[in-house]
């Protein structure tokens, strides 16, 4: 199955979960622990041998299960598990796969928190990490060692917007019997990494999936075996480290998930409009929807076409000072907010080198091609995107 034949929105809509009293929304689980009618059923649940029973909300609860089932449907995986943050999802997946003495191959261009975990935290467990240009497939394969357990990448890298060739990376991973883990935070519904060959898909649901910037949450989408492993009461990383998502937040995110397809289409439409206008006035930027983007054809070959190219644009203002001036003016004039994060209904912009990628040393930023003047745009759901562009253009003129 290819990405073009899979419709994540349709898969979610097939789910028919409603409340226990007939409510159109599933009921919210307001319990940390659950009762059992027999001692044997509790024992079986501890051992993972009972169906439809809940033990303790750090393990599973109905609200989290409803959301997990919807995410699994969206990704085409057998199962999913939801966490209290995107980093909770990333670290849980990696720590479940790796033991002391193991090795990881990762894209050097990645979210700053992920980079810091891989570079600064994992060495305390004697887990080695090789950082590569994920677009150089020969370099990726050459970095794999006998003790490599996984290849890690982002489907659309943060903040440079490289497109990962997931089918080719999957072939390399399977050839060497390692897992391919893909963070799809930037492109939910647009790309379906599991369908394209990834073994595990992780998300910060804080971003586009929830879309309201009112909660922190993450997700892991994978096989039944992997989800059972991370939630095992004796050895599961998720169960024992406890990065569980609150059930009230799960319920909120589940409702927002059902509008994700509409939001991604509008984010993409607005970003494409801005990219086309930026091109007209000669700005230097990266947007995978433009033919000039080096990975444009690759993106076309793997994306789910109806959802566009995403809402992220990387604009190069050359210097951090110029980037700061533009962002301050844009916030003053109502373009959006000078803030980290993305996927909000308002446009957000930040300078990654001074914020979300600040964990990456400046020399590494230079090596990967990250300009000190990079402004990362998360384009919002603006109804009048033409007026938004006019405001941006006026800021560009006045800062000169």
Question: End of a domain among 223, 257, 291?
Answer: 257
Percent of the chain with pLDDT over 90: 81
**In this structure, is residue 2 part of a structural domain?**
no
User: Is there a single domain that holds both residue 373 and residue 269?
Assistant: yes
Asked whether the predicted pLDDT for residue 1 surpasses 70, the reply is no
Question: End of a domain among 213, 242, 257?
Answer: 257
User: Is there a single domain that holds both residue 327 and residue 393?
Assistant: yes
Q: What is the pLDDT of residues 181-240, one digit of tens each?
A: 999 999 999 999 999 999 999 999 999 999 999 999 999 999 999 999 999 989 999 999
User: Is there a single domain that holds both residue 112 and residue 145?
Assistant: yes
User: Is there a single domain that holds both residue 222 and residue 128?
Assistant: yes
User: Is there a single domain that holds both residue 288 and residue 204?
Assistant: no
Residue 41 has what pLDDT?
85
Number of domains in the chain: 2
Per DSSP, 185 falls in state: T
CA–chain centroid gap for 56, Å, is 27
**In this structure, is residue 237 part of a structural domain?**
yes
Task: Look up the CATH number of the domain holding residue 304.
Answer: 3.90.1150.10
Q: Taking phi first (over 0 means left), then psi (-120 to 50 degrees means alpha), and beta for anything else, what does residue 123 get?
A: alpha
**In this structure, is residue 1 part of a structural domain?**
no
Paired residues of 183 in beta bridges: 154, 202
**CB-count burial class (<10 Å; 0-12, 13-18, 19+) for 235:** exposed
- Name 284's Cβ contacts closer than 8 Å, sequence gap at least 6: 315, 316
pTM: 0.94
CB 103 within 8 A of CB 130: yes
Task: Look up the CATH number of the domain holding residue 105.
Answer: 3.40.640.10
**In this structure, is residue 75 part of a structural domain?**
yes
The range of the structural domain enclosing residue 56 comes to 7-257
User: Is there a single domain that holds both residue 115 and residue 231?
Assistant: yes
From CA 80, how far away is CA 200, in angstroms rounded?
10
Considering the chain, what is the average pLDDT of its residues?
94
336 to 82, 116, 339: CA distances (angstroms): 30, 29, 9
Residue 94 has what pLDDT?
98
């Amino acid at each position: 199955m290819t990405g073009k034949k899979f419709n994540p929105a349709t898969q979610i809509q097939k789910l028919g979960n409603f409340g226990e009293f007939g409510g159109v929304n599933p009921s919210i689980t307001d319990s940390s622990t659950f009762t059992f009618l027999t001692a044997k059923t509790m024992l079986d649940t501890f051992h993972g041998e009972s169906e439809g029973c809940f033990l303790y909300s750090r393990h599973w609860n109905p609200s989290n299960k409803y959301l997990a089932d919807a995410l699994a449907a969206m990704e085409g995986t057998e199962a999913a598990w939801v966490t209290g943050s995107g980093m909770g999802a990333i670290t849980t997946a990696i720590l479940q796969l790796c033991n002391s003495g193991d090795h990881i191959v990762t894209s050097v261009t990645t979210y700053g928190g992920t980079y810091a975990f891989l570079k600064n935290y994992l060495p305390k467990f004697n887990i080695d990490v090789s950082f590569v240009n994920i677009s150089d497939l020969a370099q990726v394969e050459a970095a794999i060692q006998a003790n490599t357990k996984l290849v890690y990448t982002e489907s659309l890298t943060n903040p440079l917007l490289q497109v990962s060739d997931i089918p080719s990376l999957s072939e390399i991973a399977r050839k060497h019997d390692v897992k391919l883990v893909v963070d799809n935070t930037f492109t939910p519904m647009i790309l379906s990494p599991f369908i394209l060959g990834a073994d595990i898909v992780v998300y910060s649901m804080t971003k586009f999936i929830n879309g309201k910037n009112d909660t922190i949450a993450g997700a892991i989408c994978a096989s039944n075996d992997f989800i059972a492993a991370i939630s095992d009461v004796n050895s599961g990383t998720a169960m024992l480290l406890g990065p569980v998502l609150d059930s009230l937040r799960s319920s909120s995110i589940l409702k927002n998930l059902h509008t994700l397809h509409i939001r991604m289409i509008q984010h993409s439409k607005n970003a494409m409009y801005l990219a086309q206008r930026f091109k007209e006035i000669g700005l230097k930027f990266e947007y995978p929807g433009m033919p000039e983007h080096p990975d444009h054809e690759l993106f076309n070959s793997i994306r789910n076409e109806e959802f566009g190219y995403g809402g992220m644009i990387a604009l190069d203002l050359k210097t951090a000072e110029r980037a700061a001036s533009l962002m301050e003016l844009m916030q003053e004039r109502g373009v959006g907010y000078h803030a980290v994060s993305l996927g909000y209904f308002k446009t957000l912009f930040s300078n990654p080198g001074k914020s979300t990628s600040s964990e990456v040393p400046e020399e590494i930023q230079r090596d990967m091609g990250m300009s000190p003047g990079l402004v990362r745009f998360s384009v919002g759901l603006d109804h009048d995107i033409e007026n938004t562009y006019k405001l941006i253009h006026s800021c560009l003129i006045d800062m000169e």
